[in-house]
Amino acid sequence: MKYVIIGAVAGGASTAARLRRLNEKAEIVIFEKGEFISYANCGLPYYIGDVIKDRNALFVQTATAFNKRFNIDVRTLTEVTSIDSEKKTVTAFNQVTGKEYEESYDKLVLSPGAEPIKPPLPGITNEGIFTLRNVVDTDYIKAFVNQKQVKKAVIIGAGFIGLEMAENLHDIGLEVSVIEMGNQILAPLDFPIAALVQEHIRSKGVNILLNSAVTAFEKTETGLKVILKNNEVLDADVVIMSIGVRPDTRLAIKAGLKLGDAKGIWVNEFLQTSNPDIYAVGDAIEFTNPITNLSMNTYLAGPANKQGRICANNMVLGNKQTYNGAINTAIVKVFDMTVATAGTASKQLTKSGIKHIVSTTHNGSHAGYYPGAKQMSIQIAFSPDDGRLLSAQIAGYDGVDKRIDILSSVIKRSSTIYELAEFEHAYAPPYSSAKDPINMAGFVAENILQERLRVFYWNEFDKIGKDDVLLDVRTKEEFDRGNINGAINIPVDNLRERINELDTSKNIFIYCQAGLRGYLAQRILTQNGFDKVLNLSGGYQLWKACTNETERAKQLESGFYA
């Protein structure tokens, strides 16, 4: 049996290695149009930022080592230009020798990855404008920044790579601006969690311009001018384009393979394309989202590596192992914060017509009495019918990674918020609290489903009428430091003795700093004849972050914010 694989990074390399482990006698040929195979894409920004000092650390395997260990014919700097599915051959072009030739196959695997989006803007080919997708891009950027003594950087796009580049360029001393067409950073997040992170980024001196788009670039004697849609101009020495990627489907289209609704290579549950002898893995494919049941792409190394293993199993052992899709579990370091997401964001659930409830909680990363505890904010979305967990997003400083992995597992298994409430974690003061933030998120969600807790959200203050009561149950000192306009202050610890100051016939909208004291106040009131009481999900701190960011955007659009 002869296997040919096109693409030798995450999906392709993992497919090849698994094939060899399953079949020592098979002939395996892997083509890679670039110079390098099996490198750590996710580490590239950190090499530019001098966090990773040794360039060789980026390479999981070299072509020579891969060949020696797995006896696989690795052909780098060789681009496959076409596939003849009837003859079962590929045409390859060796970029070093200039030779073009055909190679036969019994089974073919496509793993061409994705290509960066680079819109045809005026001036986009000027020196100093880069995309970051591979090692060669990294080398160019690092050399340019060092040799040109770059001082100002503009990042276009506030996705995962864009923010990692912003942090790393900032940390080597550059003045950084981030331009984002959307109304928030990190599109997979919902706005409230994004707002918390935006505040943190701004605190580092990074300029974030939301609802902004670049219309052109101009070369100057000293560098570049980046021209925005509102005619604002930013000076830059280097520009990093990071506005997204799209599946590289050029070979698939030429071969007559089916594409799906998400414009990726269509595959069935066995990762088999519309041609039974051709499989596909990685960024170029699409599959059914297990939550929305809609077609989706994912541009993450984890799913690509797992797909490679499944693909190899099915080619060697027969189509027996199904790929159940991905829920896009992802995490990113943004300066001192860590931000993570899993599942389908509330805004996408709404767009897909999926009923859900959102809840936000704030808790310490470990026991508060043990030094170093830091707050993390967890937002979950779940079904109002059965409590099925649909998404989770976390912004925090410590322990975010282990919590998102737990939540991802619950989402992936279509389990419920009741599991969160009962989750048994390893507890010691340096690592957690007796009630972990995961438990707390589950408790709150359970209270909502069992109607012990009614919530309203930061963007629903228009629901509060002139005869309704907005009640701040924090301490007087907290209230005096900042409050929501129109609120009265009765601290929760004084609520029972001052309950006669409130009218049982009125709607009462409660808030505290994080949500817990508001819940306690709600329980007091509802058991004392008040039946129209709601608590602000996420509390004052989430409201403040969201409203600050919203107001900042309005002022920026009006030209009043500098």
Q: Which residues does the annotation mark as catalytic? A: 42
H helices of 148-246, in order, are 160-171, 191-203
Residues facing residue 265 across a β-bridge: 259, 285
How far is Cα 244 from Cα 242, in angstroms, rounded to an integer?
A: 6
> What three-state secondary structure class fits 110?
strand
For 40-161, where are the E strands, in sequence order? 73-76, 78-84, 89-94, 100-104, 107-110, 114-116, 129-131, 152-156
CB 356 within 8 A of CB 457: no
Region of 274 (left: φ > 0; alpha: ψ -120 to 50; beta: rest) is alpha
Q: Name all contacts of 98-104 with Cβ < 8 Å and 24+ positions apart.
A: 103/4, 103/29, 104/2, 104/4
How far is Cα 4 from Cα 27, in angstroms, rounded to an integer?
A: 8
How far is Cα 313 from Cα 326, in angstroms, rounded to an integer?
A: 18
How far is Cα 538 from Cα 321, in angstroms, rounded to an integer?
A: 42
| Strand pairing class (224-228; 214-219) | antiparallel
How far is Cα 427 from Cα 434, in angstroms, rounded to an integer?
A: 6
Tell me which H or E stretch contains 29.
strand 27-32
Q: Which residue has the tokens 């996710």?
A: 42
Task: Report how far Cα 392 is from the mean position of its chain's Cα atoms.
Answer: 11
> What three-state secondary structure class fits 296?
strand
